[in-house]
Amino acid sequence: MERNLKDRLFEKSHYGDETKEEIWSRLEAQLDREPVVPAIPSRKVAKRSKKTMRKMQITTVVAAVLLAIGVFLAMPAGTAFMKDAKSWFAPEKKVEIQIEGEKEQTDQKLHKNEESRYVIYYDKERYKLVQQEGKDVITTKEPLPEKYPEVSLTIEQYKDLKPEELIKRLSEALAGKYSDVREVEKVSEPLEGYRVRALNGTKWDSEVVVIYVADNRKQGSFALTEKYFMEASEGHSARFEQMLKQFKVLEE
């Protein structure tokens, strides 16, 4: 039944595939939840079999999903429904990531920036998110000893610079600070946009910076800057890359 519902959504909707996947994942989550069944006098409940009650639960959930899909198909992009759909992000979720060849489950927490209109999940066990001068900075929960370079993922919006222009400016700025600045790349992973890498040597504590630039869908851009050191390339780097996969710009 779920397969048929999803097929209908994907075939009939005029939204892009990414948006349809996003909406479906929220509808699907409702199918997995235990629905609330209206209260019934206890003596009547006793007469109902577990099978009958389960059918009622399934019917209730499917009816709600069908109604949601019906509304979804009927409304144009950018309506209140779409705004509501964007609020369906789970406040927390588990995400599996691979660190140095080993898989591990991480507990991710949602951060929703209403002003800049984006969401991101971050590993709440190892990191904290702080807001500094209009930027969101994800950094280690416990400060690192002084001998370690900065470890952080900073998210900043540039409202008046398109991605192509912003990545060029940021790349040029890196050239004056880092000894090895790589060529700008157009990427689709961990997000859609541009990337530039820079290094300051090859020692264990040599600084590394990786900047991603993504379209903010309003004629501007987001710059997402990873900072860590060479020895942390397999640890913090992999965790930051996973977080960036969860970064989504919200529709107005």
Averaged over 78-89, what is the pLDDT?
52
Q: For residue 76, what pLDDT is reported? A: 54
Instruction: Say how many CA atoms lie within 13 Å of 217 toward its Cβ.
Output: 10
Is residue 38 pLDDT above 60, yes or no? Answer: no
Averaged over 49-73, what is the pLDDT?
54
What are the extents of the domains in the chain? Answer: 2-86, 92-249
Judge contact between 212 and 243, C-beta under 8 A.
Answer: no
Q: What is the mean pLDDT of the chain?
A: 79
Averaged over 57-78, what is the pLDDT?
53
Q: For residue 78, what pLDDT is reported? A: 52
At 125, list the tokens. Answer: 């066990």
Judge contact between 250 and 118, C-beta under 8 A.
Answer: yes
How many residues are given for the chain? 252
Q: For residue 89, what pLDDT is reported? A: 79
Peptide bond into 91 cis (omega under 30): no
At 155, list the tokens. Answer: 């998210």
245: CB partners within 8 A, 6+ apart: 189, 190, 191
Share of the chain above pLDDT 70, in %: 65
Q: Which pLDDT band, with edges at 50, 70 and 90, does 81 fall under?
A: very low
Task: Tell me how far apart the alpha carbons of residues 72 and 77 are, in angstroms, rounded to a whole number.
Answer: 9
Q: Which fold has domain 92-249?
A: Protein Transport Mog1p; Chain A (3.40.1000)
- Residues 159-205 have pLDDT tens digits of 999 999 999 999 999 998 999 999 999 999 999 999 999 999 999 99
Strand partners, 180: 199
For the CA atoms of 194, 110, 139, 208, what is the dihedral angle to 10 degrees? -20
Q: For residue 84, what pLDDT is reported? A: 47
At 41, list the tokens. Answer: 């006098």
Record the pTM.
0.67
Q: For residue 207, what pLDDT is reported? A: 96
